[in-house]
Amino acid sequence: MRKTRITNYESFARDVLTAIPDRPISFEVFSDEFDEMERQERTIAAWGANVCVKIQVSNPRGEPAYGLVRRLSQDSLQFNVTAVMTADQVRDVTDALTGGAASCISVFAGRIADTGRDPAPLMAEALRVMTRAPNAELILASPREVLNVFHADSIGCQIITVTGDILNKLENDRVGKTAQRIFA
């Protein structure tokens, strides 16, 4: 936001919601303290019915946000629980979201791959575990290459965040036909 000189987060968010009123959009809390996170989450969620409040799975001290997610999800707040890196985190977030509002779990597949591990098995396991929370969708987050788009499709991942660079590569004639099938 600083790079683009956005100085008023709420004003920016409301402009985005006016431009895109019919798609889920995630807006992030900025606090590391759970009490303040809850206050911010409730404020941000009130900006629109299509808002998912983006919250990290744990704060910088490593304290998990599962209790907060469970409580607010039961109050019908939609979440995008992000920075998920392990199967245990997927299980705990799924448990917190079970019976609550429609939400997303963002597994940072690209960052997992950066450690030398294949994220596809974890993504497939996440989908299996998430059947306990039918209102939750899986996001393959932080993709690093076009191959991640095909991984997401092959395991049945509902959402993938894609950068402009990756989208441009998908327009390449060699991958374009396959990509058209995925995005159709």
Say whether 22 sits in a helix, a strand or coil: coil
pLDDT at 163: 85
CA gyration radius for the chain?
17
Select from 114, 182, 105 the least CA-distant residue to 139: 105
- Write the pLDDT tens digit of every residue in 98-140: 999 999 999 999 999 999 999 999 999 999 999 999 999 999 9
Say whether 130 sits in a helix, a strand or coil: helix
- Write the pLDDT tens digit of every residue in 18-70: 999 999 999 999 999 999 999 999 999 999 999 999 999 999 999 999 999 99
Burial label, 162 (beta-carbon count in 10 A; 0-12, 13-18, 19+): middle
* Domain 22-183 in CATH 3.20.20.70: yes
pLDDT at 150: 87
- Write the pLDDT tens digit of every residue in 59-103: 999 999 999 999 999 999 999 999 999 999 999 999 999 999 999
Rounded to an integer, what distance in angstroms lies between the CA atom of residue 98 and that of residue 134? 8
DSSP-assigned beta bridge partners for residue 163: none
> Residue 140: in which H helix or E strand, if any?
strand 136-141
Neighbour count for residue 156 (Cβ, 10 Å): 10
> Residue 87: in which H helix or E strand, if any?
helix 87-97
Rounded to an integer, what distance in angstroms lies between the CA atom of residue 16 and that of residue 118? 34
Rounded to an integer, what distance in angstroms lies between the CA atom of residue 169 and that of residue 99? 39
Domain ranges of the chain: 22-183
Whether 184 has a pLDDT exceeding 70, the answer reads no
> Residue 146: in which H helix or E strand, if any?
helix 146-155
Strand duo 51-56 + 159-160: pairing: unpaired
3-state helix, strand, coil in the chain (%, to 5): 50, 15, 35
The predicted model scores a pTM of 0.89
Upper half-sphere CA count for residue 63 (Cβ side, 13 Å): 8
